[in-house]
Amino acid sequence: MPFSADTFSQPKPKQSNTVYYVLGILLGALTGYVNVRVEDLMLTAVMVTAFAMLVAFIRPDRPWLSAVLVTALIPIGEVVAFKMTGQKLNRAGISEAILAILPANAGAYGGAALRMVIRELWPEKHV
């Protein structure tokens, strides 16, 4: 028998969330900057969806957190872009940034589901 009872009872080492948080924050700020520079709602929605999917694929246990991390800093990224480039901010851009949570949720839950499907199809081999 390759497994003993102790194999399953030992807790897994806890992973640090710092890299996960920093990645989500940086991707959200990048999305906000691109939103101000390009002024294209569709590009912003695609970026938010893809970035939330990536972050949730890396850490699928809380996909809602991936969506919040990516979208929370979009307005801050817009302010940074405004300060760096002097481009004017408008109310529509800020409301778009707030509503970006909707495609982010779709992407985050899609990324988490994709990771779970991959785990089911190709389970880890225990040596």
pLDDT class for 2, splitting at 50, 70, 90? low
Q: Tell me how crowded residue 126 is: count the other CB atoms within 10 A of its CB.
A: 8
- Indicate whether 95 belongs to any domain: yes
- Inter-axis angle of helices 41-58 and 91-99, nearest 10: 30
pLDDT class for 39, splitting at 50, 70, 90? confident
- Indicate whether 73 belongs to any domain: yes
Asked if residue 35 lies in contact with residue 77, where contact means CB atoms within 8 angstroms, the answer is yes
* pLDDT for res 127: 66
- For the stretch 54-68, pLDDT in tens is 999 999 999 999 999
State percent of the chain over pLDDT 70: 88
pLDDT at 11 > cutoff 60: no
- Inter-axis angle of helices 18-38 and 91-99, nearest 10: 140
Angle at 124 between CA 9 and CA 2, to 5 degrees: 55
- Indicate whether 126 belongs to any domain: no
State percent of the chain over pLDDT 90: 41
- Structural domains in the chain (count): 1
Range of the domain at 71: 17-121
**Taking Cα atoms as reference points, which of 49, 22, 54 lies closest to residue 103?**
49
Structure tokens at 34: 């691109």
The residue with tokens 């004017």 is: 88
The residue with tokens 């778009």 is: 96
* pLDDT for res 10: 53
In the predicted model, what is the mean pLDDT of residues 46-61?
Answer: 94
pLDDT at 89 > cutoff 80: no
